[in-house]
């Protein structure tokens, strides 16, 4: 169960590098590079992938707690971590996928910005964008935080210029595409050919999900209903975040939701929603009421179990 779906690509990249012929250029390099590094020690690529994901997942939980504690009580911080660890797609933190690494780097980047260590924020941001395409969202996110710090101090801080190194991570990925295929944007062609996905307004993906005819009830539930539900959950939480949370978190929510939903065909939105970490802060605030704490916990655990079982059986689970 540990080496299914995307992990096969990551393992192939770690073992043999990139090729324009096998679809591997769809995947960003940092996670497979770390797998290769750890595999030198462990001697096993699967074990290396699990080690990298596991350490990154633990790091993400620790960083989330520290980040939430800046603005909220310890109890809210702990509840945020609780809802993060039991989120319906949190099993991806423990398998050979890049979600935990991406989230740990994003949280570390934003935490560094909050405590005004901008050189570290820029460095972690570059590594984050070297892990997943959604790293692009860090640019407006960090810009919003810098703006808020300027409004508080009314002083220009040249350390904010460290934001400019975040795109270096994407530049590395473009160089890999160019070296392997001769086209720095070859990954766009590969993704469209593999998943029939292209950029589009969210309304296009919503119409497609509603009108599509699925060959089985399970596929209709997983690809249709659940994808739509998590798109809606992300939208609602994005709107609420602008009212209840610091603007830097609302910007991360807005950019992430826009990126994940602006496609012609929804795919893996529940998994991507795991990286929209301000959702867990909102859950924690709502869970101060015992009724909602129970509702959110039961919902999370039930769907965590359902999705994890399907994934373990080799079925599609985002």
Give the model's pLDDT for residue 5.
Answer: 76
Nearest to 131 by CA among 94, 105, 108: 105
Exposure class string for 20-58: b at 16+ Cβ within 10 A, else e: beebbbbbbbbbbbbbbebbeeeeebebbbbbbbeebbe
Fill in the DSSP letter of residue 266.
-
Q: pLDDT below 50 — which residues of the chain? A: none
Nearest to 111 by CA among 277, 279, 318, 290: 277
Q: What is the mean pLDDT of the chain?
A: 90
Nearest to 187 by CA among 15, 8, 66, 25: 25
Q: Which residue has the tokens 């596991």?
A: 54
Q: In terms of DSSP H, where are the helices of the chain?
A: 7-16, 30-42, 45-69, 74-85, 99-114, 118-129, 138-153, 168-181, 186-195, 202-211, 217-219, 226-244, 247-261, 269-273, 278-286, 290-312
Give the model's pLDDT for residue 292.
Answer: 96
Measured between alpha carbons, how far is 111 from 145 in angstroms, rounded to an integer?
A: 11
Give the model's pLDDT for residue 132.
Answer: 95
Give the model's pLDDT for residue 1.
Answer: 59
Tell which phi-psi region holds residue 182, choosing left (phi > 0), alpha (psi between -120 and 50) or beta. Answer: left
Fill in the DSSP letter of residue 41.
H
Q: What pLDDT digit, counting tens, does each position of 290-317 carry?
A: 999 999 999 999 999 999 988 888 777 7
Measured between alpha carbons, how far is 301 from 187 in angstroms, rounded to an integer?
A: 36
Q: Residue 263's beta-bridge partner residues? A: 199
Give the model's pLDDT for residue 296.
Answer: 97
CB atoms within 10 A of CB 81: 18
Q: What pLDDT digit, counting tens, does each position of 184-230 carry?
A: 999 888 877 766 666 778 777 777 777 665 555 566 566 678 888 99
């Amino acid at each position: 169960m540990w080496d299914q779906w995307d992990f096969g690509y990551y393992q192939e990249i770690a073992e043999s590098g990139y090729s324009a012929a096998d679809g591997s250029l769809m995947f960003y390099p940092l996670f497979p590079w770390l797998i290769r590094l750890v595999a030198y020690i462990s001697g096993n690529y699967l074990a290396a992938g699990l080690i990298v994901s596991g350490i990154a997942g633990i790091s993400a939980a620790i960083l989330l707690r520290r980040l939430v504690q800046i603005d909220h009580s310890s109890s809210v911080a702990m509840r945020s971590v609780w809802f993060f660890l039991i989120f319906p797609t949190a099993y991806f933190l423990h398998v050979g996928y890049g979600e935990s690494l991406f989230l740990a780097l994003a949280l570390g980047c934003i935490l560094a910005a909050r405590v005004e260590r901008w050189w570290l924020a820029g460095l972690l941001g570059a590594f984050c964008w070297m892990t997943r395409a959604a790293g692009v969202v860090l640019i407006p996110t960090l810009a919003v935080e810098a703006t808020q710090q300027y409004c508080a101090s009314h002083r220009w801080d040249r350390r904010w210029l460290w934001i400019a190194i975040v795109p270096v991570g994407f530049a590395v990925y473009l160089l890999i595409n160019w070296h392997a295929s001769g086209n720095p944007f070859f990954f766009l062609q590969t993704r469209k050919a593999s998943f029939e996905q292209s950029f589009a307004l969210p309304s296009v993906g919503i119409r497609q999900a509603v009108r599509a005819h699925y060959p089985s009830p399970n596929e209709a539930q997983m690809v249709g209903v659940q994808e739509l539900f998590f798109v809606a959950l992300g939208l609602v939480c994005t709107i609420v975040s602008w009212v209840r949370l610091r603007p830097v978190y609302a910007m991360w929510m807005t950019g992430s939701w826009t990126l994940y939903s602006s496609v012609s065909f929804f795919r893996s939105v529940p998994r991507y929603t795991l990286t929209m970490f301000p959702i867990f802060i909102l859950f924690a605030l709502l869970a101060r009421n015992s009724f909602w704490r129970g509702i959110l916990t039961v919902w999370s655990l039930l769907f965590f179990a359902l999705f994890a079982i399907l994934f373990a059986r080799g079925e599609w689970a985002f």
